[in-house]
């Protein structure tokens, strides 16, 4: 198969022929229909987070089951599936406590669970490392059964790639993590793929006002389309002051969908007493945010968020239902599609802030 191979930080991904082994016990081979480019992938490509090379990155994807390994019971060939960045084993202490988004089976391992790789370069037979158990920048991917979620097959599968990462994270941060309720005020900092989903999650639950903050006007225009009621260009206006002005007393909820400590500070400072700031974005290793502890005495909260606090087998099919019911948008998230060969160009357009999501289709 063809795949985009990561050969080390700050090098373009190389389109190469790769051999992929059939799925072993508990594993599934999926033909990728679409795979989104997430900023986290970029962090790995840029070396902000380390990942061994050569490897195949990519973790936001959907496709069709091609083949199943022994013992796989939840899917069969032909099923439409979405990859979950965090698997759900169902039996670890986190899954069992209702926190499957912290599933112990999620590992930062570079291999499949049995410690081996299913991927090698055809040209020299060298092993390739896996990525988060997914490695979707390729025509096919082998994943553990617990990392894939079956979805209804009347939804266009190539449009569902974003559901397993940006959508479940952003909408989940509102529904599950923060549990925003109708009429509460929400400020969303950063209107990329995740931030737009925070906005549409807030819209779905009847929050008001929904204040979108970004430095790029076309992202703000998108945010309006996704349900934002107020737009703040933080390159031109002080976002904290604007949020206080719009809400009167500060926001009930503020989301950092950028993953930057300064943005997190703006989110936290935008809160009303008793408000909750949610860090949705992934921040660089070692980043620290200095919380004013007196503000905690005002019942302010700084809420972490792992993968939208999602229960994948509940939330991912639900999001597909909501999409088909036209209660959430997926098509509009995909600003542009690219063939696999143009993946570096697709990352460039992300870096330039030109796209909500760029998606590779096959």
The residue ranges that bind its own copies (CB under 8 A) are 93-94, 97, 99, 101-102, 177, 249, 259, 261, 264, 273-274, 279, 282-283, 285-306, 309
Number of CB atoms found within 10 A of residue 216's CB = 17
**Alpha carbon distance 307, 304 (integer Å):** 10
CA atoms within a 13 Å half-sphere pointing along the CA-CB vector of 167? 34
Nearest approach in angstroms of CB 197 to its own copies is 17
Residue 313 catalytic? no
Q: CB-wise, 295 or 344, nearer to its own copies?
A: 295
Residue 43 catalytic? yes
Residue 238 catalytic? no
Cα 295 to Cα 28, 276, 287, 356: the distances in Å are 49, 11, 20, 34
Check if the beta carbon of residue 336 is closer than 8 Å to that of residue 176.
Answer: no
Q: Which of 55, 95, 136, 165 is catalytic?
A: 165
Nearest approach in angstroms of CB 43 to its own copies is 12
Q: Which of 55, 59, 136, 244 is catalytic?
A: 59
Q: CB-wise, 237 or 262, nearer to its own copies?
A: 262
* Bond prior to 54 in cis (omega within 30° of 0): yes
Q: CB-wise, 235 or 287, nearer to its own copies?
A: 287
Q: CB-wise, 64 or 302, nearer to its own copies?
A: 302
Closest alpha carbon to 324 in 126, 145, 174, 154: 154
* All residues at 6 or more sequence positions from 210 whose CB lies less than 8 Å from its CB, including other chains: 185, 186, 188, 199, 202, 203, 227, 228, 229, 230
Number of CB atoms found within 10 A of residue 183's CB = 11
Number of CB atoms found within 10 A of residue 182's CB = 8
Nearest approach in angstroms of CB 64 to its own copies is 31
Nearest approach in angstroms of CB 133 to its own copies is 17
Closest alpha carbon to 26 in 86, 62, 95, 73: 73
The alpha carbon torsion through 258, 263, 269, 273 (nearest 10 deg) reads 20
**Alpha carbon distance 251, 209 (integer Å):** 9
Q: CB-wise, 132 or 358, nearer to its own copies?
A: 132
Q: CB-wise, 108 or 115, nearer to its own copies?
A: 108
Nearest approach in angstroms of CB 318 to its own copies is 20
Nearest approach in angstroms of CB 287 to its own copies is 5
Residue 305 catalytic? no
Residue 92 catalytic? no
Which sequence positions are flagged as catalytic?
Answer: 38, 40, 43, 59, 165
């Amino acid at each position: 198969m063809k795949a985009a191979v990561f050969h080390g930080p700050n090098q373009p991904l190389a389109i190469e022929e790769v051999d992929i082994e059939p799925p072993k016990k508990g594993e599934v081979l999926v033909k990728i229909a679409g795979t989104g480019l997430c900023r986290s992938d970029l962090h790995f490509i840029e070396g902000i987070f380390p990942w061994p090379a050569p490897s195949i990155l990519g973790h936001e994807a959907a496709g069709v089951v091609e083949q199943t390994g022994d013992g796989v019971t939840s899917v069969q060939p032909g099923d439409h599936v979405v990859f979950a960045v965090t698997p759900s084993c169902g039996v670890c202490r986190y899954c069992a406590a209702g926190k499957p988004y912290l599933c112990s089976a999620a590992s930062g391992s570079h291999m499949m669970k049995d410690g081996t790789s299913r991927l090698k370069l055809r040209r020299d037979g060298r092993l390739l490392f896996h990525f988060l158990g997914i490695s979707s920048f390729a025509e096919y991917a082998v994943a553990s059964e617990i990392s894939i979620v079956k979805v209804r097959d009347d939804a266009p599968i190539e449009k569902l790639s974003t559901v397993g990462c940006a959508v479940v994270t952003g909408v989940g941060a509102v529904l599950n993590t923060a549990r925003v309720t109708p009429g509460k005020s929400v400020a969303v900092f950063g209107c990329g793929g995740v931030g737009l989903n925070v906005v549409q999650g807030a819209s779905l639950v009847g929050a008001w006002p929904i204040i979108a903050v970004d430095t790029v006007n076309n992202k703000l225009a998108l945010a309006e389309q996704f349900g934002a009621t107020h737009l703040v260009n933080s390159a031109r206006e002080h976002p904290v002051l604007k949020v206080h002005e719009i809400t009167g007393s500060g926001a009930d909820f503020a989301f950092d969908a950028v993953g930057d400590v300064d943005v997190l500070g703006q989110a936290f400072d935008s809160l009303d007493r008793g408000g909750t700031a949610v860090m949705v974005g992934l921040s660089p290793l070692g980043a620290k945010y200095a919380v004013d502890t007196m503000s905690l005495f005002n019942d302010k909260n700084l809420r972490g968020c792992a993968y939208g606090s999602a229960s994948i087998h509940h939330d991912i099919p639900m999001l597909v239902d909501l999409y088909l019911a036209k209660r959430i948008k997926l098509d509009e998230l995909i600003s542009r599609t690219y063939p696999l060969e143009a993946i570096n160009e697709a990352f460039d357009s992300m870096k330039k802030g030109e796209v909500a999501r760029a998606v590779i289709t096959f």
